[in-house]
């Protein structure tokens, strides 16, 4: 099973009840538990650094440092919106603090501070900028491209057969055919 197929499988199982999941190996079950553990830490504090997350995984599950980083990377692929969670968390905190500043200014009757806080809130949320016009996707027509094997289409000089033969002779002496052996499929699953 490829890495993408494996991660798609984990994405599908991420929030299912463990008792309902069948056909998982013990290694996959342990992996799913590690992904859930990392997700729960990020859910509590989205701005958690990867190093702290790594240390938590190592201490909780007794895995290697490289395995912890692989788990963090895979979990972020499975749940891509986690990548933006830290930024969204900070945005939320800033908005809430600005709202508190406005409320405090109103309570204390400080008009100047209230106007500054409202202005900062509006600017932070980009309310002072015009909204971009939506693209009309249905009106976009792709350019018709016809593949050709003629280099003159690119305004390149034509290459004669003699030049091709000379280059082939020049570089074919350096080519070494590597020996290889077919790998037999021994039905082992990909390691993430």
Domain ranges of the chain: 3-78, 86-124
- Per-chain mean pLDDT for the chain: 79
> 185: pLDDT confidence band, cut at 50, 70 and 90?
low
pTM for this predicted structure: 0.45
User: Mind giving me the DSSP string for 101-127?
Assistant: HHHHHHHHT-HHHHHHHHHHHHHHTTT
Distance CA 27, CA 61 (A): 12
The percent of residues above 70 in pLDDT, for the chain, comes to 86
Mean pLDDT computed over 89-103: 78
Collect all residues with Cβ–Cβ distance below 8 Å to 185 and sequence separation of at least 6: none
Q: Is the pLDDT of residue 81 over 80?
A: no
The pLDDT of residue 177 is above 90: no
């Amino acid at each position: 099973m490829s890495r993408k197929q494996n991660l798609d499988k984990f994405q599908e199982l991420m929030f299912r009840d463990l008792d309902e999941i069948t056909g998982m190996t013990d290694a996959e079950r342990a992996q799913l538990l590690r992904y859930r553990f990392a997700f729960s830490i990020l859910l509590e504090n989205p701005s958690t650094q990867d190093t702290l997350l790594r240390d938590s995984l190592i201490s909780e599950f007794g895995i290697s440092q490289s395995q912890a980083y692989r788990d963090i990377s895979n979990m972020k692929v499975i749940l891509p919106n986690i990548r933006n969670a830290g930024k969204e968390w900070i945005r939320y905190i800033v908005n809430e603090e600005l709202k508190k500043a406005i409320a405090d200014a109103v309570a204390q009757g400080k008009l100047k501070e209230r106007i500054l806080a409202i202005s900062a809130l509006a600017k932070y949320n980009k309310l002072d900028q015009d909204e971009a016009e939506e693209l009309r996707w249905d009106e976009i027509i792709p350019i018709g491209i016809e593949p050709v094997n003629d280099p003159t289409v690119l305004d390149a000089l034509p290459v004669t057969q003699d030049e091709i033969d000379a280059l082939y002779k020049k570089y074919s002496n350096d080519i070494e055919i590597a020996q290889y052996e077919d790998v037999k499929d021994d039905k082992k699953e990909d390691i993430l």
